[in-house]
Amino acid sequence: MEKGPPLELVDTHLSEYSYIGGHRPTQADRAVLNAVCVPCDRSNTFPNLRRWAAHMESFTRSEMQAFPPHTESCKMDNQLSDLVNKELKVDVAAPNKSPENDKAGNHSKRTENDKDGNHSKGSQNEKGGSQSKGKGKSGKFVLKTPKGTRDYGPMEMAYRREVFNVIYSVFHMHGAVQIETPVFELKDVLTGKYGEDSKLIYDLEDQGGEILSLRYDLTVPFARYVAMNKIDNIKRYHVARVYRRDSPAMTRGRYREFYQCDFDIAGQFDAMIPDAECVQLVHQVLSKLGLGEFTIKINHRKILDGVFGSCGVPSEKFRPICSAVDKLDKSPWEEVRKEMVDEKGLDEEVADKIGNYVKLSGREELLETLANDELLKSSPSAQAGFADLKLLFQYCKSLGCAEHLVFDMGLARGLDYYTGVIYEAVLTAGQNFGEEGPVGSVAGGGRYDGLVGMFDPKKKTVPCVGLSFGIERLFTIYEQKMRAESNKVRATQTEVFVVTACKGMVHERLKLLGLLHEAGIKAEGSYKNNPKILNQLQYAEDNKIPLVALIGESEVEAGVVKIRDTVTREETTIKREELVETVRQKLGGL
Amino acid sequence: MEKGPPLELVDTHLSEYSYIGGHRPTQADRAVLNAVCVPCDRSNTFPNLRRWAAHMESFTRSEMQAFPPHTESCKMDNQLSDLVNKELKVDVAAPNKSPENDKAGNHSKRTENDKDGNHSKGSQNEKGGSQSKGKGKSGKFVLKTPKGTRDYGPMEMAYRREVFNVIYSVFHMHGAVQIETPVFELKDVLTGKYGEDSKLIYDLEDQGGEILSLRYDLTVPFARYVAMNKIDNIKRYHVARVYRRDSPAMTRGRYREFYQCDFDIAGQFDAMIPDAECVQLVHQVLSKLGLGEFTIKINHRKILDGVFGSCGVPSEKFRPICSAVDKLDKSPWEEVRKEMVDEKGLDEEVADKIGNYVKLSGREELLETLANDELLKSSPSAQAGFADLKLLFQYCKSLGCAEHLVFDMGLARGLDYYTGVIYEAVLTAGQNFGEEGPVGSVAGGGRYDGLVGMFDPKKKTVPCVGLSFGIERLFTIYEQKMRAESNKVRATQTEVFVVTACKGMVHERLKLLGLLHEAGIKAEGSYKNNPKILNQLQYAEDNKIPLVALIGESEVEAGVVKIRDTVTREETTIKREELVETVRQKLGGL
């Protein structure tokens, strides 16, 4: 590899843009990362370059391969631009460098097919890059989706449908109902619910009328719905996108618009029965998706509060200290301790005491041990928490979902509104599908008994417990898994492609399509009057359509149809009136 | 009925509020409508009252019965408030006045059930009223959804799922892929696409960054997607909510946030083949939903332009005159003519000439007649349109979907971007389900060959044809139909309710639930440790759960389970290890 551009040049570029290609990662980032040598000393030179390189390390190789193509959508120094183009050419020529892209579509057949009026499902540029083209370097018109958002193409939607179907089936197994709330709420509804994160809320422009904000999650709208409709109890699910003006936008799948997939149980019930159902549900969804080993970590806000109180944290600092503990899954204890002492003004001694507890994790025996701990024995809060978790363990055993349960004293969950049990599911076998280690949290939740009361004029509350799947992460992992297993997920479900063998057959083709559709069979044909037969057959193969129904003049005259198996290329001639039945038989046997 | 409050009082109230209860229709509107006598003279007295009463007439009786309950969420004169409360008490006492509400839930059992830890699916207030309570008359805190939006409750979502499933199945039958785009777009993307309606676009607040707007439809984002990803051809569907700051917000199901359900074919293909597929698809969806008779009206922008040109309309007035013609489905010709002459400055003579054409509708023979019309014979634009429509009729015949096709010269479609065939489907048998006449348009679309080019820097375009279902209207009609036919749509899909007969059985209940779930059976149980047996059985009946699995101490000891059919109340005792198989058999037989 030749020497890359001077580091200054890249650093300067990155002082203006988050990525080489602008504000989204593209193949240009891979190209430059290949070409430059980022200094590994600990000085402060080239801060933008270092920040960018560190961020790039957060992507797996396959995630990088899936970056959208480079397009010249931001101003770029000529030397940098030349480097990118040169590197990318090398990249394209090298074999097996982008397995995902190879699978994504049928580009080589594309032009040919287009000529004959087949449609190629928009497979080009499937990853739905946020930007694609502009008026060139000097122009102002850049065609893109808003920062932090993206389009989802046909293949991605097909994977999503599969993941959603699994999750919906589990929700229905538990008798959950579905509700839907507006994408925006009165700003007042969201105010005071998210603490520091309130600054991430998208507001709508005041166009004369109410002051509105886009929802930040589905939990607060749910609490508003329960309070507003005076509902005493409900078990509901809600799947929808939420909005956060997070910055930087694009770290490893973190978008400003993303799906949440929530299941909650509201109502005054006996201790831990609904809570255990939530744990069971996480267990079932992750098992059914088959993404490998996972752990469900549990803890209890009352235990944390008990620990904080017993260690000498003043009660007004419980939540800030809790949010420091929450960072333990990403940062080492030393850093968390530093935040407690330096930023949150805790005595070093108190912090160290907390440290002794929050590093602990285990199963039921740890619960026993800690319940008899000298310091915690006298904390009613901690004891209440231990009693809950012991019961939860027992219920989960009866439900058959206790095996993955781990009592983790370091689990804190970020949100302020939790009041009881909290849990978080972590995949531990992410390395099967990506090059990196554990992919982290894929579901989380807990009990929040006070939120509905915040919306009730008389502060009457309805206790709630619920969970949210990190559905965007599940999509990515599921897609990687399916690709790794070479599973055939198709963007369409077409079963039969109707092919005409000679000219002037458009009406015959349409009649056959009408016949198949009438019978409920998924069938397509070319949009050309006189498409070439080979192109039609090729289209069926490229799009993995299992059967072809072929007619020419002689077939029409004789009242027969040729059925061709796309994989074996075996052909059989049948009577037209047997078509539907034959197709059904053949599809049933596939 | 006693004399109501003075009309002045109601008129004054309605000068401040859109409805009696504030800005959403509630039962208070029905109450007042029952009590007041709206003058039927044509004077200008009580304008607010008249406007409100006229608007109320746009609701069917069953729609009114489905209004959310009255709650005191806006300031109200005491006399008016008393009247409302008095009327509503009458209403509640009268039998058979609210059949929908009777069916919606199990309110009478509710308190009892709650005590025993069953959850009643949030059936209360199912219609998801936008407002429900405040701090009373004097308070400021009103708990509500934003103007023009609403929540959707469990039953509504269940109906929606059924309608969507039908539509998705037809989309997949045609080999369509699914895409998704962000809920907001760069404001520039939407600018200049909607003509006068641009003022209805929701803008996001400028919080430092890009200037964004909520999408107004799915067509413009689709065109942006096609151009941005340089897609040559795609057949896609997209179902999502769109946003319009329309005013007044609540005329007969017109919301500011509502679903669109779009199917479009982009690509350079032979004439009328994709267009005929769109007509076929509308035909299939409406047939499968079984909503009664329907008509698919077709026309062609080139025919309209040909008529306008031949009648002497200057070409810069083509679009404004077209948008006047578009109002023919709601207004008589006289009013449309007035708009053409008074507002759009057309000569009376020209308007009358146009009138001769746009009142015509028929089938293929009308196409023939008009193609030979003296005035239109010399219009190349009109002739091109006639040729297209003749071909469309032929293709639809081959596809088996021509029977409902009507060539309607008065069909114009509002949007500027159509360039060819336009169509609109109308239900003609709405009276079967509501008290009113035809419910109007339930699907519409057409060809727009120029839109993608507006996003391409080189103005390279991709011809498109597509359609959009008026899905909110279809939901309402489908729900009315299902209720009218007393079809049992449940909000949940639970198959087995696990009942424990005595105390101390919670673990046994959970074990049975774990067992059933493991086998993929949808099962629920109480959230109470020791629920009463009758309440549990009642819950299963109320929620139409077909089977009950009952265990007491003796059953557990003997290793058996009692299976009870909820409808027949027949009980059989089986071995525990036969439970799954027996349940499957019984469910298969239901």
pLDDT, tens digit, 9 for 90 and up, residues A2-44: 444 578 888 888 877 878 888 788 888 888 887 777 765 555 6
Say if the Cβ atoms of A186 and B245 lie within 8 Å. Answer: no
Q: Is A208 exposed, middle or buried (0-12, 13-18, 19+ CB in 10 A)?
A: exposed
Higher-confidence residue of A262 and B75: namely A262
A455-to-A179, B114, B143, B147 alpha-carbon distances in Å:
18, 21, 7, 18
| Most A CBs within 10 Å, among B155, B228, B497, to test the A interface | B228
Which pLDDT value is given to residue B199? 86
Q: Cα distance from A143 to chain B (closest Cα, Å)?
A: 6
β-pairing, A361-362 with A131-134? unpaired
A356-to-A333, A353, A390, A408 alpha-carbon distances in Å:
10, 5, 21, 13
pLDDT of B131 strictly over 70:
no
Which pLDDT value is given to residue A584? 94
Of B501, B517, B495, B515, which Cα lies nearest the Cα of B557? B501
Of B146, B188, B491, which is closest to A210 when you measure between CB atoms?
A: B146
- Torsion sign, CA atoms B474, B244, B413, B385: negative
Mean of the per-residue pLDDT values of chain A: 84
Read off the tokens for B207: 């919080």
Give dist(CA B133, CA A214) in Å, integer: 22
Q: Cα distance from B17 to chain A (closest Cα, Å)?
A: 14
pLDDT of A281 strictly over 60:
yes
What is the helix (H) or strand (E) element at residue B317, kind and residue range?
A: none
Of A232, A518, A524, which is closest to B400 when you measure between CB atoms?
A: A518
Express the helix, strand and coil content of chain B in percent, nearest 5 each. Answer: 45, 15, 40
A241: chain B residues, CB-CB within 8 Å: 183
Respond yes or no on whether the N-terminal peptide bond of residue B248 is cis (omega within 30° of 0): yes
**Which chain B residue's Cα is nearest to A497?**
B175
| Most B CBs within 10 Å, among A510, A515, A548, A583, to test the B interface | A510
Helix A273-289 × helix B506-518 angle, to 10° = 20
CB B431 within 8 A of CB B420: no
Give dist(CA B474, CA B96) in Å, integer: 26
Read off the tokens for B5: 């409050």
Say if the Cβ atoms of B182 and A494 lie within 8 Å. Answer: no
Say if the Cβ atoms of B233 and A161 lie within 8 Å. Answer: no
Give dist(CA A423, CA A408) in Å, integer: 9
Q: pLDDT band at B17, cuts 50/70/90?
A: confident
What is the helix (H) or strand (E) element at residue A29, kind and residue range?
A: helix A27-35
Residue pairs between chains A and B whose CB atoms are closer than 8 Å? 353
* Ramachandran bin of A141, using left for φ above 0, alpha for ψ from -120 to 50, beta for the remaining angles: beta
Main-chain dihedrals φ then ψ at residue B337, nearest 5 degrees: -60, -45
| Most B CBs within 10 Å, among A210, A527, A535, to test the B interface | A527
Q: What is the mean pLDDT of residues B6-11?
A: 81
Which pLDDT value is given to residue A40? 55
> Worst-scoring range by mean pLDDT, A166-170, A583-587, B20-24, B505-509?
B20-24
Which pLDDT value is given to residue A105? 33
**Which chain B residue's Cα is nearest to A156?**
B179
Higher-confidence residue of B504 and B139: namely B504
Express the helix, strand and coil content of chain A in percent, nearest 5 each. Answer: 45, 15, 40
Q: What's the gap between Cα B218 and its chain centre?
A: 16
What is the helix (H) or strand (E) element at residue B178, kind and residue range?
A: strand B177-178
pLDDT of B142 strictly over 80:
no
Q: What is the mean pLDDT of residues B75-81?
A: 80
pLDDT of B430 strictly over 60:
no
Give dist(CA A553, CA A505) in Å, integer: 8
Q: What is the DSSP string of A495-562?
A: -EEEEE-STT-HHHHHHHHHHHHHTT--EEE-SSSS--HHHHHHHHHHTT-SEEEEE-HHHHHHTEEE
Say if the Cβ atoms of A233 and B119 lie within 8 Å. Answer: yes
CB B160 within 8 A of CB B54: no
Give the ranges where A94-204 is alpha helix by DSSP (H): 99-104, 107-115, 154-173, 187-190
Say if the Cβ atoms of A143 and B455 lie within 8 Å. Answer: yes
Distance in angstroms between the alpha carbons of the first and the last residue of chain B: 49
Q: What is the mean pLDDT of residues B3-20?
A: 77
A22: chain B residues, CB-CB within 8 Å: none
pLDDT of B177 strictly over 90:
yes
Of B119, B506, B523, which is closest to A267 when you measure between CB atoms?
A: B119
**Which chain A residue's Cα is nearest to B398?**
A511
pLDDT of A465 strictly over 70:
yes
Q: What is the mean pLDDT of residues B254-282?
A: 95
A143: chain B residues, CB-CB within 8 Å: 189, 224, 227-228, 455, 457
Amino acid type, A211: I
Q: Is A333 exposed, middle or buried (0-12, 13-18, 19+ CB in 10 A)?
A: middle
| Most B CBs within 10 Å, among A120, A127, A155, A225, to test the B interface | A225
B121: chain A residues, CB-CB within 8 Å: 177, 234-235
Q: What is the mean pLDDT of residues B237-244?
A: 96
Hunting for tokens 């886009």 — which residue is that? A214
A246-to-A20, A55, A208, A326 alpha-carbon distances in Å:
20, 15, 27, 18
pTM of the model: 0.76
Question: Any bridge partners for residue B575, and if so which?
Answer: B560
Say if the Cβ atoms of B205 and A210 lie within 8 Å. Answer: no
A121: chain B residues, CB-CB within 8 Å: 177, 234-235
Of B245, B267, B457, which is closest to A527 when you measure between CB atoms?
A: B267
Of B185, B241, B492, which is closest to A183 when you measure between CB atoms?
A: B241
Q: pLDDT tens, A485-536?
A: 877 778 889 999 999 999 999 999 999 999 999 999 999 999 999 999 999 9
Q: pLDDT band at B294, cuts 50/70/90?
A: very high
Of B463, B459, B486, which Cα lies nearest the Cα of B544? B486
Give the ranges where B372-421 is alpha helix by DSSP (H): 380-399
Q: pLDDT tens, B349-373?
A: 999 999 999 999 999 999 999 999 9
Of B174, B513, B517, which is closest to A524 when you measure between CB atoms?
A: B174
> Worst-scoring range by mean pLDDT, A21-30, B294-303, B423-432?
B423-432
Q: pLDDT band at B429, cuts 50/70/90?
A: low
Give dist(CA A298, CA A445) in Å, integer: 10
A151: chain B residues, CB-CB within 8 Å: 179-182, 225, 228-229
Which pLDDT value is given to residue B415? 76
Q: What is the mean pLDDT of residues A386-411?
A: 96
Say if the Cβ atoms of B510 and A276 lie within 8 Å. Answer: yes
Say if the Cβ atoms of A514 and B457 lie within 8 Å. Answer: no
* Length of chain A counted residue by residue: 590
Q: What is the mean pLDDT of residues B34-55?
A: 71
Q: pLDDT band at B117, cuts 50/70/90?
A: low
Say if the Cβ atoms of B174 and A510 lie within 8 Å. Answer: no
Q: What is the mean pLDDT of residues B397-401?
A: 95
Q: What is the mean pLDDT of residues A224-250?
A: 88
| Most A CBs within 10 Å, among B160, B394, B510, to test the A interface | B510
CB A191 within 8 A of CB A160: no
CB B235 within 8 A of CB B173: no
Q: pLDDT band at A305, cuts 50/70/90?
A: very high
pLDDT of B152 strictly over 90:
yes
Q: Is B431 exposed, middle or buried (0-12, 13-18, 19+ CB in 10 A)?
A: middle
Spatial strand order of the sheet with B523-525 comes to: B523-525, B496-500, B547-551, B560-565, B571-575
Of B131, B523, B527, which is closest to A269 when you measure between CB atoms?
A: B527
Cβ neighbours around B357 below 10 Å, total: 22
Say if the Cβ atoms of B210 and A146 lie within 8 Å. Answer: yes
Which pLDDT value is given to residue A66? 78
Hunting for tokens 């037209």 — which residue is that? A576
Q: Cα distance from A219 to chain B (closest Cα, Å)?
A: 14
Q: What is the mean pLDDT of residues B382-397?
A: 97
Q: What is the dihedral angle through the alpha carbons of A563, A566, A568, A570, rounded to the nearest 10 degrees?
A: 20
| Most B CBs within 10 Å, among A464, A493, A508, to test the B interface | A493
Q: pLDDT band at B247, cuts 50/70/90?
A: low
Say if the Cβ atoms of A161 and B178 lie within 8 Å. Answer: yes
The listed range with the strongest mean pLDDT (A28-37, B176-185, B452-461, B483-492) is B176-185
Say if the Cβ atoms of A139 and B457 lie within 8 Å. Answer: yes
Tally: H helices and E strands in chain A: 22, 18
Q: What is the DSSP string of B286-311?
A: HHHHT---EEEEEEEHHHHHHHHHHH
Give dist(CA B446, CA B442) in Å, integer: 14
Of A134, A203, A507, which is closest to B457 when you measure between CB atoms?
A: A134
Cα angle vertex A58, ends A52, A64, to 5°? 85
**Which of B537-566 are b and which e, b meaning 16 or more Cβ less than 10 Å from the residue's Cβ?**
bbbbebbebbbbbbbbeebbeeebbbbbeb
β-pairing, A464-469 with A440-447? antiparallel
pLDDT of B233 strictly over 90:
yes
**Which chain B residue's Cα is nearest to A540?**
B175
Say if the Cβ atoms of B145 and A181 lie within 8 Å. Answer: yes
Helix B27-35 × helix B78-93 angle, to 10° = 100
CB A389 within 8 A of CB A406: no
Of B266, B268, B293, which Cα lies nearest the Cα of B427? B293
Say if the Cβ atoms of B206 and A203 lie within 8 Å. Answer: no
Q: Which residues contact A545 (CB under 8 A, 6 or more apart)?
A: A494, A495, A496, A497, A524, A539, A566
Q: pLDDT band at B122, cuts 50/70/90?
A: very low
pLDDT of B75 strictly over 90:
no
Q: pLDDT tens, A136-149?
A: 343 455 789 998 89
- 3-state SS assignment for residue B561: strand
> Worst-scoring range by mean pLDDT, B109-123, B228-242, B323-337, B513-527?
B109-123
Which pLDDT value is given to residue B102? 33
Which pLDDT value is given to residue B172? 95
Q: pLDDT tens, A71-127?
A: 766 778 788 887 787 777 644 333 333 333 333 333 333 333 444 555 544 434 333
Q: What is the mean pLDDT of residues A434-459?
A: 81
Cα angle vertex B121, ends B117, B127, to 5°? 145
**Which chain A residue's Cα is nearest to B490?**
A177
